[in-house]
Structure 1
Amino acid sequence: MNKIIVVLFLTLFGNKVFAQELEIQTFGNKNDKALIFLHGGPGYNSVPFEQTTANELANNGFFVISYDRRGEGRNENLKAEYTFTQTFEDLNQIFQKYNLKKATLIGHSFGGIIGTMFTDKYSDKIDNLILVSVPISMPQTFENIIASSKEIYTKKDDKVNLNYINMLQNMDSTSLEYATYSFMHAMSNGFYSTKNPNQKAIELYQKFKTDTLLQKYASKNEYLAPQKFWENEHYTSLSIKINLENLKNKKVSVYGIYGKEDGLYSPEQIDSLVNILGDENVEYLENSSHNVFIDRQNEFIDLVKKWTN
């Protein structure tokens, strides 16, 4: 794909739109219900969602808008401030570009934090907010990762990793290093993967071996975005419980989809979300981990359709 530089105008190139240099992907008919996908991270991208699920949602009657945040993924080279303010400005420009009076936000992981804070600030623009594997409290998430990892290492009598866990527990829990090492233990212990994928999930994950875009971006994590977001926003200490309570009081429709095999969150954390949103607004799915839209794609799409009716 040729590189296009946009200064003071918008350029259309296929179904990719460059708005003030920000590359955006769209799927489906622009007259259908609008869904905006917000990816995880910081330092990740929307490619796994786009290459596995975006078209399926479009085929079910949605206009799907997806993009990588400024300074991340395919927009990695764009100048970024790595602040929530700039992230909200970009999102508002997407509403303006597509003439959206309202839309549903689907926030995955860190993208759900951004989606919740944006919705709290601009609730008049949001039809529904759907949280997918989102850390409601970052400190509680780290505590759960560490406790679960320690249990695994104890059962294995893994003295080396137990020593690392003890060191981690003595670190500054607000530091980026604490968060980084916690996520490293989560990855090494398979907390992001389901142990019992269904046939559809197996087929979708096979695409990661053959799809050139997935091969390039699915395992790519940048380091500048986490560092800068931490410096500017201290996101590793965030909790969005107050924001969710605000949205409840504003009568904004908020839903949650989580996998029971997602090792980042304990059942108690899901219970706390249920206490805020209500049992009917939270789905806790078997045989699913962090990427619910892949692990249980059919159920994920059915829930999105149900909640946006």
Structure 2
Amino acid sequence: MSSQLFEESHGASTIIHDNESGYASGTSSQDSLPDVYFSKPHLKFLNQQLQKLEPQDILRWCITSLPGLYQTTAFGLTGLVTLDMLSKLDGPIKANVDLIFLDTLYHFQQTHELVQRVRSRYGTTIHIYKPQGVETAEEFTAKHGEKLWETNDELYDYVAKVEPSHRAYSELQVKAVLTGRRRSQGGKRGDLDIIEVDDAGIVKINPLANWSFAQVQDYVNANDVPYNELLKMGYKSVGDWHSTQPVAQGEDERSGRWKGKNKTECGIHNPKSKYAQFLRKQELQRQEQELSQAMQRVSVDA
């Protein structure tokens, strides 16, 4: 069952009861308890408290509180710092957090080399997801046409990133994910919370939301964290080779992504993109049609 953000804090606790105690528990036979439950007031309270903590303490809270926890990463600096911090957490509970990497088929060679270095260094399980039905850039072009990122960038984001992420979440039964987003990256990330819940009920945690690029870089240097060689060439945020450029002095960290376009997110963290809204509209229409058909069947049976 997917994680859920409930609009109200009452009601859910009255649905499930343990036959002996009158309360729900982890061993109850009923299966209708949500895996992760936040009311809006609870979510606001947690953000207020976690805001005061260091990233390592936020990560400790995550591994003790959130089932189905994974880390989504494109192997940017912040994600690598998170991975290194997880590997060094002490205490009785060990951080066994797998990585999810979306291989768009258009990553830089340096990014693929970094993936191998991360595997060797940390031994972390990495789940790699590619666009559905293709294995190479040539196959992607044959299926979707030349330079889809130019002819229809929102469709490109969907087939190369959004759909593979949804498939990963479904197949791996993901309930919560650690992301590498920070407020100092600029754009729509300027008012980022530590914890968010998306429309699908996935809990997203941004453990380094408060950190600056300088803090991230200092941690990388102090802990000898492996990083993308492109960062030595003026890049600060690395995505696909066709839409990533070095960053000029004084520019936002992510200004090298989609240069010249009014765009700062690829769709994974932007549910309000036109293509996402189109898909949501289709899904709502499908649900309405199923409901109508069900009501018709009930009417006939009656």
Shared fold, TM over 0.5: no
Greater radius of gyration (CA) = 2
TM-score, scaled relative to structure 2: 0.29
Higher strand share: 1
TM-score, scaled relative to structure 1: 0.28
